[in-house]
Amino acid sequence: MSDHHEHEHDVACEPLTCGRRRFCQAAIGGATAITVGTVVYPIVAFLKLPVRLGDAKPVEVPLERLVPGQAYYADFQGQQVIVVMAEAGPKVFDAACTHLGCNVVWDTAHSNFHCPCHGAVFSGEGKVVSGPVSTPLREVPFEVKNGVLVIS
């Protein structure tokens, strides 16, 4: 029995039966592929990163709330951003330190940013002052509409 089973693929057949066999194999293979596809496709689609409605929400800060020399902290798409009022106008920085990504803190007394993790210091313009960093803080683009600062 098992001997017959092993040589099944080698059995020579009439052209007619060979065609039938190929057709049946293709039909079964195709049906199996469709069945597997209808199971696999929804699963793969489900695992895809979904669109969270909150992600698109812009951050709005009224300009009168900004005090020169002080910082305003906000959450933009799950990442902290810091708004500082400079003499030339407001600036927005990504709070992630360019060293290893800790959130930097605004130091009002020295008018600079200080990272609590490894002591990096950035100036009020985001430039490197000291510490284990070489890249300035990332500036976040924004626009001012009717006296409201909008980050989107």
Partner 1 sequence: MRVIRDTYGWIDERFAVTPLLEKNVTKKMVPRTLSWAGCFGGLAFFTFLVQVFTGMLLLMYYKPHPEAAWDSVTFIKSNVTMGWLVQRIHAVAANLMIALVLMHMARIAYYKIYRKPRELHWMSGVFLLLLTTMMAFTGYLLPWTQLSYWGAKVGTEIPSAIPIIGQDVVEWVRRGKAISGETLGFFFSLHIWILPAVMSAFMGLHFVMIRRTGISRPL
**Distance in angstroms (rounded) separating the CA atoms of residues 151 and 76:** 8
Q: In terms of CB distance, is 28 or 86 closer to partner 1? A: 28
C-alpha closest to that of 133 among 91, 104, 106, 92: 104
Strand order in the sheet with 89-94: 71-76, 79-86, 89-94
By CB under 8 A, what part of segment 14-73 binds partner 1? 41-43, 45-48, 50-53
Helix, coil or strand: residue 79: strand
Query: Closest separation between CB of residue 86 and partner 1, Å?
Result: 40
Query: Closest separation between CB of residue 34 and partner 1, Å?
Result: 17
By CB under 8 A, what part of segment 62-121 binds partner 1? none
Q: Which residues bind partner 1 (CB under 8 A)?
A: 41-43, 45-48, 50-53
